[in-house]
Structures are given as C-alpha cells and as structure tokens.
C-alpha cells in the first residue's frame, strides 16, 4: 500500500510539473503555482525536491528584497506603475473584446505583484493571517 501511495504521489507531482510547462505560456500565473505544487508533492518522498523547494523559496525572497528596495522614489514609482497596470488591465477588460482581453491578465498580474511586493505589503498580509491563525489555536 505504501508503494502505491509513493507511485501515485510521484505521478501526480510529475503530472503537475508537465502541466506547468504546457500552460506556463498562457497569460496569468498558470505555470508557477503548478510547478511549485508538483515539487511539493515530489518533496513528500524525495530529498532532492525538498532541497530544491527550500532553495527556490530562499532565492525568491532574496530576489524580492533586491527588487523592492525601500528607496523613497522607488516606492512611489512602483505604486504608480502598479496602479497604471491595474487600471489598464481593468480598462481593457471592460472596453475591448478578443485577444487583448485575455492578454490584459498580464497587466493585472504584474500590477498586483508590484502592489503586493512594494512596501512589503505581502509580508505584512502573511504576518496578519499567521497571527490570526495562532490566536485561533490558542483559543481552542
């Protein structure tokens, strides 16, 4: 039974990784969450996948820290750029039909990433939800 679980887990992980490469070119976040999910499933049974996930997480956080510096001018530029990208994406969705409407997802995703990454908003949001979760565990 344990061998069957190992095979099914590995097959699902590899399937998600293959699917990530197949849909990664489609606008939106498609490929990255699938790739990370597949690696997460493979990490259940394989040390190399656990090491790779740890490395991706550490390097991703380091990259975000380098990109989103706390320079006052950069902070304002990122906020303005995020607003323009989000507004442009919403404008395209409302006013234009066809391929551009699908492509506007790129505007929305990049704008949202800039908005959440700038001023360490994503870290504050995660910290807030972790505190909420810890408070719930203390009450139970």
Residue 47: predicted pLDDT = 92
Task: Break the chain down into helix, strand, coil percent, rounded to 5.
Answer: 85, 0, 15
CA distance 57 to 2: 29
Residues 80 and 101 in one domain: yes
Residues 49 and 107 in one domain: no
Residue 130: predicted pLDDT = 83
Q: 36 near 53, Cβ under 8 Å?
A: yes
Residues 100 and 120 in one domain: yes
Given 25, 46, 64, the domain boundary residue is 64
Q: Residues in the chain with pLDDT < 50?
A: none
Check residue 27 and report its DSSP letter: S
Given 12, 38, 64, the domain boundary residue is 64
pTM tops 0.75, yes or no: no
Residues 18 and 54 in one domain: yes
Residues 52 and 100 in one domain: no
Q: 103-134 b/e with 16+ CB inside 10 Å = b?
A: ebbebbbebebbbbbbeeeeeeeeeeeeeeee
Residues 37 and 94 in one domain: no
Residue 28: predicted pLDDT = 58
- Domain containing 35 equals 1-64
Residues 52 and 99 in one domain: no
Residues 39 and 91 in one domain: no
Distances (CA, A) of 80 to 91, 99, 111: 16, 26, 10
């Amino acid at each position: 039974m344990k061998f069957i679980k190992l095979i099914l887990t590995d097959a699902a992980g590899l399937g998600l990784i293959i699917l990530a490469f197949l849909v990664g070119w489609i606008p939106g976040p498609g490929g990255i969450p699938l790739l990370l999910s597949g690696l997460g499933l493979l990490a259940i049974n394989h040390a190399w996948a656990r090491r790779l996930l740890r490395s991706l997480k550490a390097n991703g956080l380091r990259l975000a820290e380098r990109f989103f510096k706390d320079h006052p001018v950069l902070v304002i530029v990122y906020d303005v750029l995020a607003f323009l990208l989000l507004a442009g994406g919403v404008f395209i969705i409302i006013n234009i039909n066809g391929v551009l409407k699908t492509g506007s997802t790129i505007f929305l995703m990049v704008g949202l990433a800039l908005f959440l990454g700038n001023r360490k908003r994503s870290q504050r949001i995660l910290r807030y939800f972790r505190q909420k979760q810890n408070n719930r565990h203390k009450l139970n």
